[in-house]
Structure 1
Amino acid sequence: MPSISTLLWDSPRNPYLAVGIPLLIGGATSYAVNGTKPNGLRNTGTSTWWYNSLKAPKGEVSSEAHAYAWPALYAAAGFGSYLIAQNLDVPGAYGSINPAARATAIDALNLYWIAIGLNTAWSPLFFGLRQPALAAVDLLALSGVIGALTVKAHSLPTIHNIPTSLFFVPYLCWVSYSTYLSAGYWWNNYGPGKRI
């Protein structure tokens, strides 16, 4: 029976699994925690009522923007993981596998799955537990992991002349923005900026 780490390293070798798994995880978590429908429109319920009662930070975009951005980012990051996985078997000298590229790819895939785990934790922290501060800390850690992943992916040989790191830069930018939003929700509603 294959180990968990082997499954996590091997699933991105298939482009459909590489893109589909993060989309499935993100969609399932969002739906389970806050009732987001596949089209991004929210169901009515306690999470919606609570969220709508919060004072939003400046620069918040519409729920629809989030509904389109996250699937696109998950798909891009998933395809980036597919490109990383292609480096698991890059030929080295005398037809053997390049051990340096393989080790870097394994490190990058480990960071990728840590990022998926941290990203998955955000919805339960923010909507389930209603803890914007913890959600912001989660996203801050996620930003660090995606930053390290981007650097690690950039050091890999390009596949099909595509720098793998390009697929993680938008993800890093959006997560950094989301960190600001989560911290802003905490500040405006629970922290020193709490409305009277």
Structure 2
Amino acid sequence: MSPVPEILLDVCRNPFLAVGVPIGLGALSGIITGKTARSPWFTEMRAPAGNPPRQAFGPVWTVLYGLMGYASHLAVKSLDAAVTPNATASANKSLRLYWTQLGLNLLWTPLFFGAKQKELALVDMALLLGTVVSMTIEMHDLRTDFSTTWLLAPYCAWLGYASYLNAGYVWLNWNRRNV
């Protein structure tokens, strides 16, 4: 497998960029959400039980993006300190998973809210959840004193909940047009 591009490693090396880039990208993605979440397409759908108020999502995602960003910073520090080929490969793999999951994460909002494709968003969510669990397991084995595991555990839990919500919207609104 190819190593993570140096520019992406440099983002993770700087703790402010490591935290700020996912928060900033998430905020941009949230602009799509804000408009469509208030539209009739979304407000008239049946919501699954336990659906939180719309205002909860911004603060929750800001924290989660910050935690995942800092976990990437710890992972790149582990990569830079690696002295064996296995440690280097493991850190590289965890960082490839990090950037992959961030892309999948940022794709979900345009799929669900932008394109109004709840089913495709659910497929993306399943891929995202699997990637994040794999990333968490991979980062757990890095030399970070399990800090990455604690940083990523809330993200894993929230994605499980978000998967339930996405699946609920698909199930409860199966025959609803996407316009």
TM-score (norm 2): 0.90
Relative distance call for 1:30 and 1:46 in structure 2 (3 A) is closer
CA RMSD of aligned residues (A): 1.9
Structure with more relative contact order (C-alpha pairs < 8 Å, separation 6 or more): 2
Q: Could you tell me which residue of structure 2 aligns to residue 14 of structure 1?
A: 14
Relative distance call for 1:189 and 1:9 in structure 2 (3 A) is same
How far residue 163 of structure 1 moved from its aligned partner, in angstroms, is: 2.4
How far residue 51 of structure 1 moved from its aligned partner, in angstroms, is: 1.1
How far residue 49 of structure 1 moved from its aligned partner, in angstroms, is: 2.4
How far residue 4 of structure 1 moved from its aligned partner, in angstroms, is: 7.5
1:74-123 residue CA offsets vs partner (Å, 9 max, x unmatched): 0000000000010122153xxxxx33222111100100000000000111
1:127-158 residue CA offsets vs partner (Å, 9 max, x unmatched): 01111111111111100000000000001012
| 8 A Cα contact 2:4 2:95, kept in partner | no
1:46-57 matched pairs, under 5 angstroms: 48-57=39-48
The range that moved more, 178-187 or 83-92, is: 83-92
Quote the Cα distance in structure 1 between the aligned partners of 2:140 and 2:4.
25
> Which of 53, 65, 74 is residue 65 of structure 2 equivalent to?
74
Quote the Cα distance in structure 2 between the aligned partners of 1:132 and 1:4.
31
Q: Could you tell me which residue of structure 2 aligns to residue 90 of structure 1?
A: 81
Q: For the pair shown, which has the larger CA radius of gyration, 1 or 2?
A: 1
What residue identity is the alignment partner of 2:163? T
| 8 A Cα contact 1:9 1:106, kept in partner | no
| 8 A Cα contact 2:111 2:117, kept in partner | yes
Q: Could you tell me which residue of structure 1 aligns to residue 150 of structure 2?
A: 166
Relative distance call for 1:89 and 1:133 in structure 2 (3 A) is same
| 8 A Cα contact 1:19 1:74, kept in partner | yes
How far residue 182 of structure 1 moved from its aligned partner, in angstroms, is: 0.7
Quote the Cα distance in structure 1 between the aligned partners of 2:156 and 2:127.
11
1:156-194 residue CA offsets vs partner (Å, 9 max, x unmatched): 012xx4521211111111111111111100111115xx7
Give the share of equivalent positions with the same residue, in percent.
37
Greater share of helix? 2
What residue identity is the alignment partner of 2:6? T
Quote the Cα distance in structure 2 between the aligned partners of 1:4 and 1:150.
17
Matched, 1:188 2:172: yes
Matched, 1:26 2:17: no
What residue identity is the alignment partner of 1:90? A
Q: Could you tell me which residue of structure 2 aligns to residue 157 of structure 1?
A: 143
TM-score (norm 1): 0.82
What residue identity is the alignment partner of 1:89? D
Quote the Cα distance in structure 1 between the aligned partners of 2:62 and 2:8.
20
What residue identity is the alignment partner of 2:27? G
